[in-house]
Structure 1
Amino acid sequence: MRIFAVNKASIIKMYLHQNKDWPNFKWDNDTILPYVSKVRNLQGRLIGKMEGIGFELREEAVLETITEDVIKSSEIEGELLNPEEVRSSVARRLGMEISGLSNASRGVEGVVEMMLDATQKYKEPLTKDRICGWHAALFPTGRSGMYKITVGDWRGDKGGPMQVVSGPMGKEKVHYTAPEAPRLEEEMNQFILWFNSDTNMEPVIKSAIAHLWFVSIHPFDDGNGRIARAIADTQLARADRTNQRFYSMSAQIMKYKKGYYDILESTQKGSIDISQWLVWYFERLTDALEITNHTLAKILIKAKFWELYKNTQFNERQIEMINKLQGDFVGKLHSSKWAKITKVHRDTARRDIQDLIEKGVLSDSGEGGRSTNYILNLPNLEL
């Protein structure tokens, strides 16, 4: 979905921000409260479980979660980031000592900087300067793709009203028209004041509203979705009362990307009652909390593996490949792939692999011939 300014008349009579009651959102408590109760219960259980697994494993969980969050939030907007660069940038900024870190591009560094500022410094107030700093970090070249944009300040309307548009040139479909540029300072002042001062609202409801409210104002030329999700994550960190992130809301939004855009569009064209948006948001938040058990299982298995082999000698190549196999290794492990990744001769790769087989770390898959490949033997784990 493309987001840019075009000179087109609105195809509907009223958007949410044009409602006379904007932004005094309403919702049906009887509908919402069961979802809120389930989310809060899952949050409490997850935080309690994480507190019991030790500092190093919590660090690993935070690294995995923030890496995924950064990647998926950008992917929602159609931007694919290099996972190794993201992981390296996150690890460095968290002060984690990890061997073989990749150098990250300016673009990756900017997204990571924004996300970590939003979640690690969740107690700090939201300000225009802070939000505009995030925007500048997202667009270090001052451009969105080929187009020069206003960076680090609210957008203007010199190219026409800001509209969310899809479809080929000449046959665009307008999904949303944002508030006019002259309204932005007042709109954002009101939003920021509410975000910083309304402490009586249930925190997870506030996260959902902040997401919808910010993206409806659409104060920037580009990057509004990513910043809206960062602000929502700030509020979720406040709800959890910790800067350690153990679940990724953006990963679930990406999984249901079409539904995300559909519910935003229908809500922004609907009444001031946002019950359906809240239901959708809490369903995704529930998914994010529940799927974290799988992430936790991977981390605990990794810890148990290295505990089992703490007295076993491995060379640097073997350690690198074992860690890759415990992560998001793609495809099957052949000796040729080992050689390519570790930059050694294939005979050296074979010796590395045979040594791990003898130590019980790897097993031959049994396929034989040119299809010979190897499987990492992981310990069993009961959560």
Structure 2
Amino acid sequence: MADFSAAASRLAGRVEALADVSRQEITVDLMVSEAVKTMEIEGERLDRESVVNSIAALMGFVQGKGFSWDQKAEGIAQLMADVRQNWGQPLTHNLLFAWQEAVVPESPLFPAKRGAYRDEEMDVVSGAIGRFKVHYHAPPPDRVEAEMDRFIDWYNESRNELPVPIRAGIAHLWFETIHPFDDGNGRVGRAIADQALSQGLGFPTLGCLATAIEQNKKAYYRELGDAQKGDGHIQNWLGFFTRMALDAQQIALKQVDFILDKVRFFDRFGDQLNERQQKALDAVFRRGPDRVKRGITPKDYMKITKCPERTAHRDIAGLAAMGAIAKVTGTATR
């Protein structure tokens, strides 16, 4: 438990020490990564740029930018912003309804009950359509409201009574076990865990919990399912969740270091870049460390900047000459 608190404090301190612009960029980047990953856990992929625009606007970091046309991107951005901005608020039925409604957009093809608890039986499953694996049968709908009353009362009363990751782990497991909604339970349940971590720390968590879970998704579903079907002993689940909460801090620290590397890169080379080079490198950095490692090819460069092939080769050669990238066998890497 002490390791988690120390890592979370170290992460918050590193971000807090940055200049305002860098701090805002890192905050948005971490929130966007979490939004994308919490959707990927559910098998859905979002356009990263759409989420960036929505979160930056919701957090008040940009002026005059509209929200995304993508309802799913806008909805998950609303959830992420609300959990971060209002982490200290108590949990209520209405708050959970609002969170669920945000992440489950209206759909005539796949209608789901929004902003209210389910009124049908619910099996917790994973896998592709036609190959579902049933992990757990949730409580019947006539018990959901009473179970949620008990859960919310415990959650609000336990705020200062348990170690931070233990309370968050219990909260996530309990909520997922009730599975109170037609859809959106995973996303809302992870938001509850993030809020619980923030309340325990006394400041909004920057840890990448959804990213840590997505990287260990099979183990996550296995441990969660074992705890739900077991005999009430949840030590294994809490051990797993605590490791994920600690991993989340380390993932975020690496992401912060990546953003700092980006700042240093543009401090060093920014004055030497033409408009096309700036646009292309911005695009590569926005897609994260893995994309930077892959580098930028002439084909990539042409797609981003809409320039002719000859111009792309000339600009990339210029980047290599100034030391901004290393050119290897026709492709360019940083």
Corresponding position of 1:326: 285
Corresponding position of 1:272: 232
TM-score, scaled to structure 2: 0.89
**In structure 1, which of residues 203, 206, 213 is the aligned counterpart of residue 164 of structure 2?**
203
What's the CA shift string for 1:243-266, capped at 9, x where partnerless? 3x4321111111111111111111
Are the structure 2 counterparts of residues 316 and 94 from structure 1 closer, same or farther at C-alpha, using a change threshold of 3 Å?
farther
What's the CA shift string for 1:113-151, capped at 9, x where partnerless? 1121122210122221111111111122146xx332211
Are the structure 2 counterparts of residues 103 and 162 from structure 1 closer, same or farther at C-alpha, using a change threshold of 3 Å?
closer
Corresponding position of 1:215: 176
- For the pair 1:250 / 2:210, whether they are aligned, the reply is yes
Are the structure 2 counterparts of residues 248 and 350 from structure 1 closer, same or farther at C-alpha, using a change threshold of 3 Å?
same
What's the CA shift string for 1:32-79, capped at 9, x where partnerless? xxxx12212222222222222333222222112111111111111111
**In structure 2, which of residues 273, 297, 312 is the aligned counterpart of residue 314 of structure 1?**
273
Equivalent residues in 2 for 1:80-119, closer than 5 Å: 80-97=45-62, 103-119=68-84
Partners of 1:267 and 1:274 within 8 A in 2: yes
What's the Cα RMSD here?
2.6
Are the structure 2 counterparts of residues 336 and 263 from structure 1 closer, same or farther at C-alpha, using a change threshold of 3 Å?
closer
- Bigger mean CA deviation after superposition, 147-156 or 353-362: 353-362
Aligned partner of residue 175 in structure 1, secondary structure: strand
Equivalent residues in 2 for 1:54-133, closer than 5 Å: 54-97=19-62, 103-133=68-98
**In structure 2, which of residues 122, 128, 140 is the aligned counterpart of residue 162 of structure 1?**
122
Corresponding position of 1:230: 191
Count residues in correspondence.
329
Kindly indicate whether structure 1 or structure 2 has the higher relative contact order, using CA contacts under 8 Å at least 6 residues apart.
1
Distance 1:333 1:168 in 2: 34
Corresponding position of 1:350: 313
Deviation at 1:182, TM superposition (A): 1.1
Distance 2:283 2:272 in 1: 18
Distance 2:67 2:112 in 1: 29
- For the pair 1:178 / 2:138, whether they are aligned, the reply is yes
Aligned partner of residue 186 in structure 1, secondary structure: helix
Letter in 1 for 2:300: K
Distance 2:306 2:160 in 1: 58
Distance 1:85 1:338 in 2: 21
Aligned partner of residue 135 in structure 2, secondary structure: strand
- Flag structure 2 segments of 5+ consecutive residues without an equivalent: none
Aligned partner of residue 50 in structure 1, secondary structure: helix
Partners of 1:88 and 1:103 within 8 A in 2: yes
Distance 2:283 2:14 in 1: 26
Corresponding position of 2:302: 339
Distance 1:173 1:333 in 2: 41
Q: Which has the higher helix share?
A: 2
Larger Rg: 1
Are the structure 2 counterparts of residues 186 and 93 from structure 1 closer, same or farther at C-alpha, using a change threshold of 3 Å?
same
Partners of 2:283 and 2:304 within 8 A in 1: no
Distance 2:129 2:36 in 1: 29
Partners of 2:160 and 2:200 within 8 A in 1: no
Deviation at 1:173, TM superposition (A): 4.8
Corresponding position of 1:151: 114
Distance 1:168 1:128 in 2: 31
Aligned partner of residue 222 in structure 1, secondary structure: coil
Corresponding position of 1:136: 101
